Amino acid sequence: MCIRDSLKQVAVSADHGLLPGPGGRQRGLPGGPGEEEVHEERAYELEELEAYLYGAGFSKVRQYGELKLRPPGEDEQRIFFAARKEMIEIHG
């Protein structure tokens, strides 16, 4: 794992490798044997995400703990957002 603090980015890599298969043969995982897969993510402050949602026209922005209908705790691995956006009727 590589963390770039100034950009709040995280890069995670995984080597698919080989697994034992039937008859002692080895089989590769999707992506091919020994092929590396890299995922990059960016971390956001909760205040940033709320500001983005309000800026995009959402209202009633709420935060919830991981898979629970309660405010997030300090040790949450994930925080879920719910927000409302009014629909605009277009008459043509």
Nearest to 14 by CA among 29, 24, 3: 29
CA 42 to chain centre: 9
CA angle 39, 78, 73 (to 5 degrees): 155
Which has the minimum average pLDDT: 7-16, 30-39, 61-70?
Answer: 30-39
Instruction: Give the distance, in angstroms, between the CA of residue 1 and the centroid of all CA atoms in the same chain.
Output: 15
Map residue 23 onto helix, strand or coil.
helix
Average pLDDT of the segment spanning 42-68: 92
pLDDT digits (tens, 9 = 90+) for 13-49: 766 566 666 665 555 555 555 567 777 888 888 999 9
Split at pLDDT 50, 70, 90, the class of 69 is confident
Q: What is the mean pLDDT of the chain?
A: 78
pTM for the model stands at 0.58
Model confidence at 6, in pLDDT bands (50, 70, 90)?
low
